[in-house]
Amino acid sequence: MEKKTLKRWQLGQLAILIAILGIVIFISTRLYFRLDLTEDKRFSINPLTQQQIENLDDIVFFNVYLDGDLPADFKELRQSVLDLLNELRAISPLKIQYRFTNPSENPDPSVRREIYRDLIRKGFQPYTIRSETKDGVVEKYVFPGLTISYRERQNNVNLFSNSSDNPNIPLEQLVNESKERLEYTILNAIKRITTLDSKIIGIVHGFGGLREIETHDAAFSLAEMYRVGYIEPRERIFSLTDSMGKPKFDALIIAKPTQKFSDRNKYLIDQYIMNGGKVLWLLDYVSVNMDSLANSRTTTAMPMGRDLNLDDMLFKYGVRVNSNIIQDLQAGPIPVNTAPTGAEPRFQPVKWIYFPVLVPAGNHPIVARVGKIKLEFPGTVDTVGTSTNVKKTILLTSSEYARAIPTPALIDLNIINERPNPATFKNYPLPIAVLLEGEFESVFKNRLTEALTQNPIFRFKERSKPTAMIVVADGDIIKNYYGRLDNNLVPYPLGADKWFKDIYYNGNHEFILNAVNYLVGDHELIVLRGRKLKIRLLERTKIVKERTTWQTVNVVFPPLLIIIAGVIFVILRQRKYSR
């Protein structure tokens, strides 16, 4: 080939290469995509999140308190936050802005302490890291959280879950949980700060049952997504609906009532449902005083379902709560004194078959990726026929090795000394929670006089709009325990065990949030909250044993590969042009 022809050919190839490169750059600036080849899709953005970001009306600014000299685990969390914010900014470059801040940046200790106090006042939970240096033990404070700003509004968000209050949970696990929930946390924060008319959740009081301190953790977690308030109907006609019949609450939580519902209060709840209201029923139909076992070896489980006056109402909607107690071999422990009489008390954890531990196995979004759930003296539910179109889905069941005991029944602590016979328990999973969806019929149909049903003040409806409710035969599923600190009541995280600090049932917390999210239509939050990432840890024994081998491979192999590739390239070039 002549030199001129070769030169023209080379210039042509160069021009084609430059043109292709220009086209690729032009397309890449206008088309964003990435391939997520990980097994758990940890780098994929949910389509619902993408839609939320695309629909932003103004700038959302994140101030993330993860910068500076951080431990390795927090560096991983920082990188995960950075990656996610970059993903969101790629979707909407002008609407997503962020900054990383180091709260410990100021060299003046007094200034740093004031910054720490200000962050704590804003609700941020510091994580303390103790490290040994030549000058002694040094404490570092890390605030795994961020502040999100939108127009004149501002919210503070902790990245660690409520389980971080348990000192027995390793930092590695907390960071991984935070990374699992990161997209959910960010999306929830964006939804809450950009939505002017937040949904309202009402926790019904006034019928005995749980105190506010015992539902604190659930209310606090729900308050991160919605407006939450405690409501006591007191037979007031417009306590749950307005004068036009519109529900004042997007969902109600009725948690472990112990006192009778008057017909007037039942009417208010019934008409709230008929107008499209949603209800999460958490009901105990059996009364057991567990504290009495501390002074006596026995107590009595007494039926109380009829005392609540809810049977006819629930039956009309399509469910029956039974006055029985489940015994389950898959159960949580209680502390039992195993020391001889007269000796120093020695408490040991012993499985208590009246405290079933459920492992949700259904495919429904509410329970699909929920962890273990602990119940206390739960009963069973049955679905019954209704004259309207109501879909019924069982959400929670006991294990296969369970049985239902009718009440009244004697609860004897000596049962812990008996070896249970699995054959007497091998029954079938007993239903404990059910979801009802559809159009319900009023329990007051054909029970009110014509003068009342035609009265415009009452605005009586005998058939509901399409709506939903969840019935759980255990009121303690939402109960968090509490302790005392300096004469103040301090709530434990929902799911934390009362007696054993190293036991935590995260499913209780997840189930309550999922149930409320589902009832009010926030299905995307359920999906994102249930995201699970695998922790891929290195085998420490293998690291020590094979350290030299892998160091040699990592140091020698890459340069050697480059040298071999260079030699092959030179040989091929010489062969090509020597002709």
Q: Tens digit of pLDDT for each residue in 124-164? A: 888 887 766 666 666 778 888 899 999 888 888 888 865 55
Structure confidence at residue 486 (pLDDT): 78
Q: Which residue has the tokens 């970001």?
A: 53
Are 220 and 255 spatial neighbours (Cβ–Cβ below 8 Å)?
no
Q: Do 115 and 248 share a domain, yes or no?
A: no
Cβ atoms within 10 Å of 549's Cβ, excluding its own? 9
Cβ atoms within 10 Å of 318's Cβ, excluding its own? 23
| Strands 200-204 vs 251-255: parallel, antiparallel or unpaired | parallel
The residue among 256 and 538 whose pLDDT is bigger is 256
SS (H, E, C) 392-435: EEEEEECCCEEEEEECCEEEEHHHHHCCCCHHHHECCCCEEEEE
User: Considering the entire predicted model, what is its pTM?
Assistant: 0.76
Q: Do 382 and 299 share a domain, yes or no?
A: yes
Q: Tens digit of pLDDT for each residue in 65-123? A: 988 888 888 888 999 899 889 988 888 888 899 999 998 888 888 888 899 889 888 88
Q: Do 208 and 147 share a domain, yes or no?
A: no
Q: Do 168 and 299 share a domain, yes or no?
A: no
Phi-psi category of 23—alpha, beta or left, where left has phi over 0 and alpha has psi -120 to 50?
alpha
Binned at pLDDT 50, 70 and 90, residue 39 comes out as low
Residue 361 domain-assigned (yes or no)? yes
Q: Do 549 and 508 share a domain, yes or no?
A: no
Q: Do 331 and 424 share a domain, yes or no?
A: yes
Q: What percentage of the chain exceeds 70 in pLDDT?
A: 87
CATH number reported for the structural domain that contains residue 82 in this entry: 3.40.30
Average pLDDT, stretch 513-522?
93
Q: Do 554 and 517 share a domain, yes or no?
A: no
CB neighbour burial string for 281-308, b if at least 16 within 10 angstroms, e if fewer: bbbbbbbbebeebeeeeebebebbbeeb
Range 189-193, long-range pairs (CB < 8 A, 24+ positions): 189/146, 189/148, 189/155, 189/157, 190/52, 190/53, 190/56, 190/60, 190/148, 190/150, 191/52, 191/225, 192/155, 192/224, 192/225, 193/60, 193/148, 193/149, 193/150, 193/153, 193/154, 193/155
**Chain mean pLDDT for the chain:** 84
Q: Do 315 and 208 share a domain, yes or no?
A: yes
3-class secondary-structure state, position 340 = coil
Q: What are phi and psi of 438, to 5 degrees?
A: 145, -150
Residue 24's identity, in one-letter code, is V
- CA–CA separation, 130 and 241 (whole Å): 54
What is the span of the domain harbouring residue 263? 200-521
Residue 115 domain-assigned (yes or no)? yes
Structure confidence at residue 366 (pLDDT): 93
| Strands 373-374 vs 381-383: parallel, antiparallel or unpaired | unpaired
Structure confidence at residue 455 (pLDDT): 61
Q: Do 132 and 262 share a domain, yes or no?
A: no
The residue among 574 and 58 whose pLDDT is bigger is 58
Q: Tens digit of pLDDT for each residue in 446-464? A: 877 565 556 666 678 889 9
Burial class (CB in 10 A: 0-12, 13-18, 19+), 39: exposed
Q: What are phi and psi of 181, to 5 degrees?
A: -95, 5
Average pLDDT, stretch 6-33?
74
Structure confidence at residue 536 (pLDDT): 54
> What is the count of structural domains for the chain?
3
Q: Tens digit of pLDDT for each residue in 321-354? A: 999 999 999 999 998 877 777 677 778 889 999 9
Q: Do 332 and 433 share a domain, yes or no?
A: yes
Residue 384 domain-assigned (yes or no)? yes
Report whether pLDDT(533) > 80. Answer: no
Structure confidence at residue 4 (pLDDT): 67
Residue 289 domain-assigned (yes or no)? yes
Of 45-54, 98-107, 316-325, 544-553, the range with the lowest mean pLDDT is 544-553
Most confident of 23-27, 233-237, 347-351, 406-410: 406-410
Q: Do 356 and 223 share a domain, yes or no?
A: yes
Structure confidence at residue 160 (pLDDT): 83
Q: Do 558 and 458 share a domain, yes or no?
A: no
Binned at pLDDT 50, 70 and 90, residue 252 comes out as very high
Are 403 and 330 spatial neighbours (Cβ–Cβ below 8 Å)?
no
Residue 195 domain-assigned (yes or no)? no
Residue 191 domain-assigned (yes or no)? no
Q: Provide the terminal-to-terminal Cα distance of the chain, rounded to the nearest Å.
A: 12
Structure confidence at residue 483 (pLDDT): 86
Binned at pLDDT 50, 70 and 90, residue 32 comes out as low
Residue 182 domain-assigned (yes or no)? no
Residue 527 domain-assigned (yes or no)? no
